[in-house]
Amino acid sequence: MALKFSVALISSLFLLASIANIADSAIFDVTKSYGAKTNGDIAKALTDAWKDACAAEGSNTVVVPKGTYQLSKVTFPGPCNGPIGLQVSGTLVAPGNPGQLKDAWITFLRIDQFTLSGGGVLDGNGESTWKDHGCDKSGSCGTLPTSVRFDFLTNSVIQDITSLNSKNFHFNLLGCESLTMQRLTITAPETSPNTDGIHMGRSSGITITDVKIATGDDCISIGDGSENVTITKVTCGPGHGISIGSLGKYQNEEPVRGITVTDCTFLNTQNGVRIKTWPASPSSGIASNLHFESITMTNVQNPILIDQEYCPYGQCKAQVPSKIKISDVTFKDIKGTSAGPEAVKLACSKGVPCENVSLSGINLKSTTGEAQAVCRNVKPKFSGTNNPPPCK
C-alpha cells in the first residue's frame, strides 16, 4: 500500500512540475505585441520582445512569423532568467551599407540555454558590397561585418536556419561552450570573398552536424583555442574546405586540441581537409589530436593538406619557419578524386616538424594524371590502402 502511495505521489509531482513548466513558457510574437510589420525595419520590435522574454521567468520564445522583414544592427544580450529561444520563420534582410553594421549584423551575447530555430532565412545582403571592397585581391576585408556572432554562449542549439549571402563570415563563434549547430544551410557564391560558413575560436564542446555549406571561402574554419570539436555529415562545396587555422598570425594564441571531422563530403572545393599555419609566427603554438575519417572528395584541388607555409597575398616572411607544432594527426578512409596531381600534401615546418602523422585507407585518384603524395619535414606512417603511393 505504501509503495502504491509513493508511486502515485511521485507521478503527481512530475505532472505538477510539467504543468508548471508549461505555465511558465511564453511566446513573444514581434508582430502581435511589438508592432513589427513585413518590409519594415523590425530592430526595435525584436529588441523589445527580447528584453521582455529575457526578463521573464520560465522558458520563453521570441517569434518572427513568416514574411520578409528589414533588420538593422541588433544585439541580443544575456544572461536571461531562464531558457530562451528565437524562432525565425520569416526572412530577415540586412542593410546593404556595411557601414551601418560595423563588426556584425546580429550578435547573441552571454546567453545560457539559447535556441535559434524556425526554418527562416538570414539574408546578409552581401552582393552589393563584395565588388566594392577588393578583398579577393588584397586579403583585407576588415570593414565588412559578420552576419551572426555567437559570443560566450553555453548549452545552446542553432538549428533549421539558412544563412544567405553574408558580407563576411556567416557565423562566428567566440568563447562558446557546449553548443550544437545542426540542419543548417549556408550559401554564398563561389566568388564571394571571405564568406567563411562557420568560424570558431576559443570555444569548446562544439558539435556541427547535418550542415550544407557553399561559400567563397572556408566552409568551416577553426581558430586558436578551439577544443573538443566534432564535425560530421557536412557537405562542403564550393568553398575552400574545412580548415584548422590559419594559426600563428598573432601573439598569445591558445592551443587547438581534439578536433574530429567524419562522414563529410567535399564537392569541387579548393581544399578538402586542411591544417594551415603562418610562417614567421610571432609566438609558438600547438595543434594536436586532429582526426579526419570517412570522407569523400569529388574534384577537390587539394584533398589532404597540411600547409605550414600559408602566406596569402605575400603578407608574411615565407622563408621564416612556422612555430606552430602539429602532432597526433590521422587521415583515415578518405576517397574520391583530386583535381590536381598532389592529392596528399604534408608541408610541415622545418623549425618544428610535424610528429605522429598517420594515413590509412587513402584512395584518391587524380583527374589530371597520376596522383602524388608530397611530404616535407614530416615522417608519416602509412598503413592499409594508400593511393597515391606513400611519400618517402
Positions annotated as catalytic residues are 240
Please state, in angstroms and rounded to a whole number, the distance separating the CA atoms of residues 24 and 13: 16
Please state, in angstroms and rounded to a whole number, the distance separating the CA atoms of residues 195 and 216: 6
Helix/strand/coil percentages in the chain, nearest 5: 15, 50, 40
Cell of residue 104, nine digits: 556584425
CB 371, CB 341: distance < 8 Å: yes
Could you tell me whether strands 177-187 and 162-164 are parallel, antiparallel, or unpaired per DSSP bridges?
A: parallel
Please state, in angstroms and rounded to a whole number, the distance separating the CA atoms of residues 45 and 38: 12
Residue partners of 148: CB distance under 8 A and separation at least 6: 104, 105, 106, 107, 108, 122, 163, 170, 171, 172
CB 311, CB 274: distance < 8 Å: no
Could you tell me whether strands 242-247 and 220-222 are parallel, antiparallel, or unpaired per DSSP bridges?
A: parallel
Q: Could you tell me how many residues make up the chain?
A: 392
CB 159, CB 117: distance < 8 Å: yes
- Give the residue among 29, 25, 65 at the shortest CA–CA distance from 48: 29
CB 208, CB 220: distance < 8 Å: yes
Three-point CA angle 278, 280, 285, nearest 5°: 65
CB atoms within 10 A of CB 14: 10
Q: What is the C-alpha radius of gyration for the chain, rounded to an integer number of angstroms?
A: 23
Single-letter amino acid code for the residue at 112 = D
Helix (H) or strand (E) holding 64: strand 60-64
Please state, in angstroms and rounded to a whole number, the distance separating the CA atoms of residues 137 and 313: 8
